Amino acid sequence: MKLILLATLAFAASTFAQSVKSNIPYVENGHARHVLDIYAPANAKNLPVVFWIHGGGWSQGDKTDVKLKPQWFMGKGFMVVSTNYRLLPEVDMGTLTRDVAKAFGWMEKHIAEYGGDPKRVLVGGHSAGAQLAALLCTDDRYLKTEGASFDCLIGCVPVDGDTYDVPAIIETAETRLRVHHLPPRVNGHREKFGGTPEKHIDFSAVTHVAKGKGIPPFLILHVAAHPDTSAQAARLGNALKEAGVPTTVFGAKDTSHVKLNDDLGLPDDPATKALDAFVVGVLKK
**Domain boundaries, position 264:** 2-165+204-284
204 Cβ contact list (under 8 Å, min separation 6): 135, 163, 164, 165, 166, 167
In a domain? residue 174:
no
pLDDT on residue 58: 98
Number of independent structural domains in the chain: 1
In a domain? residue 226:
yes
Average pLDDT, the chain: 94
pLDDT on residue 17: 65
In a domain? residue 214:
yes
In a domain? residue 231:
yes
Q: Look at residue 2 and tell me whether its pLDDT is greater than 60.
A: no
pLDDT on residue 12: 46
Query: In this predicted model, what pLDDT tens digit does every residue of 217-236 receive, in sequence order?
Result: 999 999 999 999 999 999 99
Q: Look at residue 177 and tell me whether its pLDDT is greater than 60.
A: yes
In a domain? residue 172:
no
In a domain? residue 176:
no
CA distances from 277 to 8, 214, 255 (A): 20, 21, 20
Q: Look at residue 75 and tell me whether its pLDDT is greater than 80.
A: yes
pLDDT on residue 1: 47
Q: Look at residue 10 and tell me whether its pLDDT is greater than 90.
A: no
In a domain? residue 175:
no
pLDDT on residue 232: 98
In a domain? residue 188:
no
Q: Which CATH number characterizes residue 134's domain?
A: 3.40.50.1820
